[in-house]
Chain A
Amino acid sequence: MTPLPLVVVLLAVGGALGAAVRHLLDIRVPRGRGVLAANALACLVSGLLAGAGLVAGTPVLGALMISAGGATLGLGTWSTVAARAADAVLVGAWARAAAVWGAHVGAGLVATVVGGVLGLALAR
């Protein structure tokens, strides 16, 4: 079992990388879809990890998986989606708020399932 201080360090490294990638996607992907891309990618990795399971055969693989978990925490975000939807709600644009959530939840669920299936296939 990985010692707690090492888990914290690995999560921090993954979280730092994930957040940086999300920020870069946000400023580079046109039409404000950078966070959507980041969330879909986070869900794909999350599904992959869930499908493959978090039990790793070697310490290196275990460390990589913990870091990947940190990366999905850093890459994906609930709060930004909620704040963007809230911006729309506060000006009465309910349809836009629903579309924001619909896009993120829809893309995220598909990515999670695809990741899960891939993870299960890789684990076999």
Chain B
Amino acid sequence: MRGPAVVPWVALGGATGAVAGWLVLTAGEALLRPWLARASGTTWFFLLDALPLVPLVVVNTLGAFLLGLLWGTSRAAAADPSRRAWDPRWVPALGTGFLGSFTSISLALAWAAAVPAWLASGGLRGGLGLIGSVVEVLVHVSAGLVVLGGMIVLGTAAAAAGLRTGARR
């Protein structure tokens, strides 16, 4: 069901989804903090710089799966006359509202855009010589693109798994 009539339900879902997403991201960051503090200054800077993104990857992948599941299940119910029809407010409230707001594309892209900005502001470790610095720049920019690409693949695969699972219900 689409249209202005479901806006209050979408808004309700959006309110709870945004708070739920923020809580999970905040809790995840708090859990990771001791690991980040312990690991800083080691040679595995490539992987460690991507660690703070783990809670966001979890949130976005889980949200994609659940939305796929919701769409698949509701489509299967709509296509089967013997099944009870869903209340038309559920999909917009849960899908557009809650899951749409639970996940975040702006945080993922802000992180990907922040890597070059951080480099430009003098974030290189230094002391590696010209070739070492160029390699460090390439590794950091690549890290951003690889992680973003990985999130895209994970998200799409999770949503596809959800759609398929929902379609079988």
Contacts and interface: CB of A to CB of B under 8 A. Distances in A.
Main secondary structure of the interface of B (DSSP, over half): helix
A15 B18 contact: yes
B71 A23 contact: no
Contacts of A12: 15-16, 18-19
B163 A43 contact: no
Interface string B37-78: 000000000000000000000001001101110010000000
Contacts of A101: 152, 156
Contacts of A79: 60, 63-64, 66-67, 99-100, 102-103, 155, 159
A19 B110 contact: no
Contacts of A99: none
B105 interface: yes
B143 interface: no
Interface residues of B, number: 55
B109 A73 contact: no
Given A16-B15, A70-B18, A83-B68, A77 B103 contact: yes
Nearest to B14: A19
B110 A50 contact: yes
Interface of A: 8, 11-20, 22-24, 26-27, 39, 42-43, 45-47, 50, 70, 72-83, 85-87, 89-90, 97, 101, 104-105, 108-109, 112-113, 116
A90 B166 CA distance: 13
A55 B52 CA distance: 21
A77 B163 contact: no
A20 B14 CA distance: 8
B147 interface: no
A73 B21 CA distance: 8
Interface stretch (B4-12, B81-89, B122-130): B4-12
Contacts of A18: 14, 18, 101
B159 A39 contact: no
A70 to B, nearest CB: 5
B27 to A, nearest CB: 13
A76 B97 contact: no
B70 to A, nearest CB: 9
A77 to B, nearest CB: 4
Those 3 A-B pairs whose CB atoms lie nearest each other, nearest first: A19-B14, A15-B18, A86-B159
B146 interface: no
